[in-house]
């Protein structure tokens, strides 16, 4: 793909509610140890080399406020008097997401950037819905409220057997609260992700995460290139009018 420079219009239109937004919003989802963070970094490098403006971020987190919420979410000890209950866990994620979308993601999309986010609303449905047993339909409504209806343009779901993913993740000495959950919990999360992918197959692309980093990266680039070209053509047509 030849290098492409994204020109940003800073006029009044950019200050309106960016629906539809002018950038591209891509999310990376999957169980622990699926390699999604590595692939987000590799795609960032590929897009920057190709001349795109890229914002790489993560959830929970992405802004100073959201990162403080992330610390509470991931580091609160389990099996204590004040352990996080599923409803509190969900509320923390949604609070961080609301701040993240308003302060970082929407402004970047309004300027025409490609935003790559390591986890987004599908993780809430998979972890707190299927994993914790909360009502998925209600969570979908809460997500719409927190994001003001923002939905990814494309989602990559990195899938592999749960024992393999956990074995990868647990080689890291820095284990958080979610990493330490039982195998049954992570199995429910994987089931949830696959159910979401079957319901939204046009947006969510299942990636076999058991393969090499290089093979996965090539597949992702192949999937991303057509939508980038379509967006570029649309921008060129819009400017020509």
CATH number of the domain within which 165 lies? 3.40.50.300
47 pLDDT above the threshold of 60 = yes
Max Cα distance, the chain (Å): 63
The predicted-structure confidence for 149-161, as pLDDT tens digits, reads as follows 999 999 999 999 9
pLDDT for 169 equals: 85
The predicted-structure confidence for 90-125, as pLDDT tens digits, reads as follows 999 999 999 999 999 999 999 999 999 999 999 999
- How confident is residue 81, by pLDDT bands cut at 50, 70 and 90? low
Query: Is residue 116 included in any domain, yes or no?
Result: yes
Query: Is residue 77 included in any domain, yes or no?
Result: yes
Stretch 34-40: mean pLDDT = 96
Query: Is residue 129 included in any domain, yes or no?
Result: yes
Based on the structure, what is the number of domains in the chain? 1
21 closest CA partner among 235, 239, 240: 235
6 pLDDT above the threshold of 70 = no
Please state, in angstroms and rounded to a whole number, the distance separating the CA atoms of residues 148 and 19: 10
Boundaries of domain holding 74: 22-240
φ, ψ dihedrals at 62, nearest 5°: 100, -25
173 pLDDT above the threshold of 70 = yes
The reported pTM is: 0.86
Run of H or E residues at 208: strand 204-208
Query: Is residue 167 included in any domain, yes or no?
Result: yes
pLDDT for 105 equals: 98
Query: Is residue 62 included in any domain, yes or no?
Result: yes
Give the distance, in angstroms, between the CA of residue 188 and the centroid of all CA atoms in the same chain: 19
């Amino acid at each position: 793909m030849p290098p492409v420079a994204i020109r940003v219009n800073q006029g009044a239109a950019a200050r309106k509610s960016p629906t539809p937004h002018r950038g591209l919003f891509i999310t990376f989802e999957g169980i622990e140890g699926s390699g999604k963070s590595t692939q987000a970094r590799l795609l960032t490098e590929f897009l920057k080399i190709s001349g795109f403006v890229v914002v790489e971020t993560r959830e929970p987190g992405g802004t100073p406020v959201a990162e403080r919420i992330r610390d509470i979410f991931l580091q609160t000890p389990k099996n204590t008097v004040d352990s996080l209950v599923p409803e509190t866990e969900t509320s923390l994620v949604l609070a961080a997401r609301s701040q993240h979308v308003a302060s970082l993601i929407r402004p970047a999309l309004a300027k025409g950037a490609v935003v790559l986010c390591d986890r987004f609303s599908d993780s809430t449905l998979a972890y707190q819905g299927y994993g914790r047993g909360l009502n998925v339909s209600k969570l979908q409504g809460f997500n719409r409220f927190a994001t003001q209806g923002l939905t990814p343009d494309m989602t990559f779901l990195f899938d592999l057997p749960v024992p393999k993913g956990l074995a990868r993740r647990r080689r890291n000495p820095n284990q958080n609260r979610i990493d330490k959950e039982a195998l049954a919990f992570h199995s429910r999360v994987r089931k949830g992700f696959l159910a979401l992918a079957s319901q939204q197959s046009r947006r969510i692309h299942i990636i076999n995460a058991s393969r090499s980093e290089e093979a996965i990266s090539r597949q992702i680039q192949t999937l991303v290139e057509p939508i980038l070209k379509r967006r570029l053509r649309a921008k060129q047509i819009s400017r020509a009018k």
